[in-house]
Amino acid sequence: MAILNILRYPDHRLHKVAKPVAQVDDRIRQLVKDMAQTMYDAPGIGLAATQVDVHERVVVMDLSEEQSELMVLINPEIIWASEDVQVYEEGCLSVPGVYDEVKRAAQIKVRALDENGQSREFDADGLLAVCIQHELDHLNGKVFVQRLSSLKQNRIRNKILKQRREEQVASAS
């Protein structure tokens, strides 16, 4: 397993739309393992392949405290979403240190393949529904900050670019 490099907003590669996985094979299973290791190391609760510069529809998530309930979603799609919304404070491994409230469907029904290529459908609500919608946004080329006001987006972009400049200065000296 390998720790993969997580792209950081506003990297343009985060806005690429991921292509469907044609076949769940050993290459995809290795990607899943590497993504899971990267997510746990970060640490985070979800990671989309887009965030590690692989533009295929693969997501890993684990909402457990013990990091013992890995969920793999390949070619995930939301096949139903409630009209009821919930507001959660979201963060993102690609936007470190930034958290803000985002409105999303309160309940969803999801269809996806697992790491063995088996199709499954399930209902989700609460944090699981939020996480799935957040990661599917990544697969569709969208970062959660794009769901915020233009003013907040500009503040976040400027904050991140400033942090990056400071990191470059620190590493140069």
Assign 172 a pLDDT band (cuts: 50, 70, 90): confident
Q: Give the pLDDT score at 167.
A: 87
Q: What is the pLDDT of residues 72-103, one digit of tens each?
A: 999 999 999 999 999 999 999 999 989 999 99
Separation between Cα atoms, residue 155 and residue 132, nearest integer Å: 26
Per-domain boundaries in the chain:
12-172
Give the annotated binding-site residues. Answer: 92, 134, 138
Instruction: Report the C-alpha gap between 143 and 125 in whole angstroms.
Output: 21
* Residue 73 contacts residue 56 (beta carbons within 8 Å): no
Q: What is the set of active-site residues?
A: 135
**Which homologous superfamily does the CATH classification assign to the domain defined by 12-172?**
Peptide deformylase (3.90.45.10)
Q: Report pLDDT digits (tens) over 127-167.
A: 999 999 999 999 999 999 999 999 999 999 898 888 889 98
156 by Cβ neighbours in 10 Å (0-12 / 13-18 / 19+) ranks as buried
Binding residues for Fe cation: 92, 134, 138
Kindly report, residue by residue over 4-27, the tens digit of the pLDDT.
999 999 899 999 999 999 999 999
DSSP state of 72: E
The single residue listed with the structure tokens 């506003």 is 10
